Amino acid sequence: MNNRFDLIIFDWDGTLVDSIDWIVNCLQAAGDQCGCGIPEPQAAKDVIGLSISNACATLFPEADQATLTRLIGCYQQAYLSRQLGREDLFPGVYAMLVELKQAGYQLAVATGKTRTGLQQALKATDTEELFCITRCSDETASKPDPRMLHEIMRHTNAANERSLMIGDSSHDLQMAINAQISSIAVSCGAHPEHTLKHYRPLLCLQQPAELLNIIRG
């Protein structure tokens, strides 16, 4: 796969950062605090990658707008109560990103996080300078709408056939399909390999740092 791509776009939670269990815990806590019930773990995982408003509306379909606003606030308060650090990146991810950038690849992030949440995470993991552009769900359309990928590709002047999406959820891979770009799945996050393979990724890796050997090869 060496020299096949110029632009590599990463999802954040569950792809670069080992945060899925924490997000599930925070969604469950929000549901409990707002009297909406505690969702099952896989149900919570299934909405990770969507914008938080879409995630809560999907997870708690009977909630009215006022309750959804409370759910979002409770989730964000719970999520931000934990200090993120570089140690929360999956093993080998930081070194992989550095090597890919030094090799001349343009690196980007396409995430369901808010801009405030992503900026805090980038600063905490000391990764902001590794990415040429990042796009968040509160400044564009939520996954699986391809708009954030189109915006990233326009910014980097990357062609569809030279762009690659890396993600851990069905929303990431469906977004890649909708944008007509290639994808590689990682099974360490929201969805298992058998689910991800339905979206026809080029490969399904167990850990994101495995990508480095694939790209080198």
pLDDT tens for 43-95 read 999 999 999 999 999 999 999 999 999 999 999 999 988 888 999 999 999 99
Range of the domain at 11: 7-18+85-216
**CATH no. for residue 197?**
3.40.50.1000
Classify the C-alpha dihedral 78-84-90-96 as positive or negative: positive
Residue 145 lies in a domain: yes
11 and 60 in a common domain: no
Compute the distance between CA of residue 4 and CA of residue 26 in angstroms, rounded to an integer: 39
Question: How much is the pLDDT for 217?
Answer: 67
| Confidence band for 7, pLDDT divided at 50, 70 and 90 | very high
**Predicted TM-score (pTM) of this structure:** 0.94
116 and 51 in a common domain: no
Q: What average pLDDT score do residues 187-200 get?
A: 96
Residue 1 lies in a domain: no
Question: Which of 42, 59, 79 lies at the terminal end of a domain, its last residue?
Answer: 79
